[in-house]
Amino acid sequence: MRFTGFLITLLTLNSVLLQAVSACPVCYGVQDSPMTAGMNAAILVMLGITGFVLAIIVVFFLWMWRRNRRRREQISDDIYVNEKGQLQTKNEKGVIEWNNS
């Protein structure tokens, strides 16, 4: 008996307050609502933030790739393999040695 009374009260409140529980202007499809404009602006801001973060990640990996390439080129210019098959660094300081013998 109590449950049916509660159910009847709930259905009555639902039918009386139908306007309050109807869809918001955004879901209902009102184009000129300030709520719709605010939601569209929020979506654009979130897309902008996401795009900015992804761009920063791409720039970081490009920077690391270019840095690695420059280091490899520098190492290949400074290191060579000697006659014994060992790696050896060039110690050129720009000084030319003359052999006067």
Model confidence pLDDT, tens digit, residues 16-43: 777 666 666 666 667 788 888 888 899 9
Average pLDDT, integer, range 65-76:
86
Looking at the chain, the number of H-run helices and the number of E-run strands are 3, 2
Inside any domain, residue 47: yes
Domain count, the chain: 1
Q: Cα–Cα distance between 15 and 6 in angstroms, integer?
A: 14
Q: Cα–Cα distance between 89 and 76 in angstroms, integer?
A: 10
Inside any domain, residue 69: yes
Inside any domain, residue 98: no
Inside any domain, residue 25: yes
User: Phi, psi (5° rounding) for residue 13?
Assistant: -60, -35
Give the domain range for residue 59.
Answer: 20-82
Q: Cα–Cα distance between 42 and 60 in angstroms, integer?
A: 27
Inside any domain, residue 9: no
User: Phi, psi (5° rounding) for residue 30?
Assistant: -75, 120
Chain-wide mean pLDDT for the chain?
82
Inside any domain, residue 46: yes
pLDDT number for residue 94: 52
Inside any domain, residue 15: no
